[in-house]
Structures are given as C-alpha cells and as structure tokens.
Amino acid sequence: MSDFTVILKSGRFNIYNPDSGNSYTVLLHDDEVQCDCKSYEFCIEPKSCKHIRFILDEIVNLTPDELEELA
C-alpha cells in the first residue's frame, strides 16, 4: 500500500449491454458527467441516468485497494 491518493478527475467510459447490444459512453470531466443515452438526453434536471449512476458508484468510488487490483 502506498501513501498516494488517487482522484479521478476525468475519464471516458464505455458501457456495453451484451443482452441488448447497446453501447453508451459516459464522459467525466471535473464535476461534469454526461452520457449519450436517450434517458440522459431527455432527463430533466438534475441530468442523470443509470449508466452515470453505475460509473459513479462502481468506478469512481473505488477504494485504493480496489484500484490497485485493477492495475
């Protein structure tokens, strides 16, 4: 374990659903998050969708140990 802190400030995440064959891109830049799905496009403020919630819950909030396992 290191003494470093990892902060994810930006990223491009591709979400693929093998059941439907659909693929979506979630963009993260500083505090802005966007998705190219129709749910996000037509969502009234605050803008969100299940793809964004997945990325924020599953990827961005990983512990340092979990991030190390992905490396």
Q: For residue 15, what are the domain limits?
A: 10-61
Per residue in 42-63, pLDDT (tens digit) is 988 888 899 988 888 877 666 6
Query: Across the strands, what pairs with 15?
Result: 24
Round to whole Å and give the CA distance between 62 and 46: 24
pLDDT reported for residue 12: 93
Structural domain includes residue 71: no
Our count of domains for the chain comes to 1
In a domain, 29, yes or no: yes
Please report the DSSP string for 9-31 in residue order: -EEEEEEE-TTT--EEEEEEETT
Q: Which pLDDT value is given to residue 21?
A: 94
**φ, ψ for residue 15, nearest 5 deg:** -110, 125
Full-model pTM: 0.71
Q: Which residue in the block uniquely carries the two structure tokens 């190219």?
A: 36
pLDDT, residue 66, reads 67
